[in-house]
Amino acid sequence: MNFQQLRIVRETVRRNFNLTEVANTLFTAQSGVSKHIKDLEDELGVELFVRRGKRLLGLTEPGKELLPIVERILLDTQNIKHLGEQFSQKDKGHLAVATTHTQARYALPPVVTRFKQAFPKVHLELHQSGPKEIVSLLRSGQVDIGIATEALGDEDDLVSFPFYQWHHALIVPDGHPLVAKAGSIALEDLAEYPLITYHEGYTGRARIDAAFARAGITPDIVMSALDADVIKSYVELGLGVGIVAAMAFHPARDAGLTLLDVKGLFEVNTTRIGLRRGHYLRGYALRFIEYCSPALTEAKLREALFPKTIE
């Protein structure tokens, strides 16, 4: 048994049992992938994959039980490497953060600025992704930290912490009729206009839909987009009233638009910081998180990532 065999088992599942993709990902020949799988099965005395001819269709029962063990072994192997780097190259390395456009554009710039000033030799890589993709990137080990409002708090293999809370607001062209109702706008008022807001699954959209559903109102959502900048562009064209994260509005940059506070209409949103449980983070990664939220100290994060078992 060797690490390459374990990597092949893991990658085979990740690549939906397509051995050609597994070989390409691991920079090896497909025949070598098949041989490694067969050698491991022979050593263990069980078949790990369900087969139809030469094709792999899924995991057998032994394969299903083996997979989480393989994941833990490979994760701990990576942790050992990171541990060594932590003490040999404290201020050098690579940090990958996956987040949504809204967080990257409006919430993270002060954090990133402070981090780069403190750790100029660390290469910081920002992946702008959807919430579900962020979960996948964390699980696969492609990123160290995930930041989003959706998805991160729902997964057992991830640990997440509150980053900050925010609310939705309305964006309308200057002089729009709703400006005269500022401070007393109701959902019924919004139902009179075409609306432009986020795609389902992004930036608190579920709370927008839930508010209308509770009120028994069907809103006229004529357009949806992934980020506030696109929403604002179409509001400027007069195509509808925008519902966006309040932090996405900047008076100087958004000339011609008015922000209307409607805190009472929609539930408060909480953006969360997600980590893969059991993943060893370098000191600078922990510092990045602490810059996001000072309450998330290294001790608190380590305890959450590696909880002590009670004997």
Asked if 151 contacts 135 with a C-beta cutoff of 8 angstroms, the reply is yes
- Strand pairing partners for 51? 56
Q: Which domains does the chain have, with CATH numbers?
A: 3-82 (1.10.10.10), 90-165+270-305 (3.40.190.10), 168-267 (3.40.190.10)
Say what the pLDDT of residue 106 is. Answer: 92
With contact defined as beta carbons under 8 Å apart, do 146 and 137 qualify? yes
The single-letter code of the amino acid at 22 is: V
How buried is residue 194: exposed, middle or buried, by Cβ count under 10 Å (0-12/13-18/19+)?
middle
- In angstroms, the Cα distances linking 293 to 107, 108, 233, 304 are 12, 11, 32, 15
Confidence band (pLDDT; 50, 70, 90) for 306?
confident
Judged by average pLDDT, the poorest of 10-24, 98-112, 132-146 is 10-24
As a whole number, mean pLDDT of residues 51-75 equals 86
CA distance 4 to 82: 19
79/41 Cα distance (integer angstroms): 27
Q: What is the pTM of this model?
A: 0.77
List of E strands, 24-149: 49-52, 55-59, 93-99, 122-128, 145-148
78-133 pLDDT, tens digit each: 777 767 776 666 678 899 999 999 999 999 999 999 999 999 999 999 999 999 99
Amino acid sitting at position 291:
Y
Summarize the confidence of residues 69-76 as an average pLDDT.
81
Check pLDDT > 50 for residue 311. Answer: no
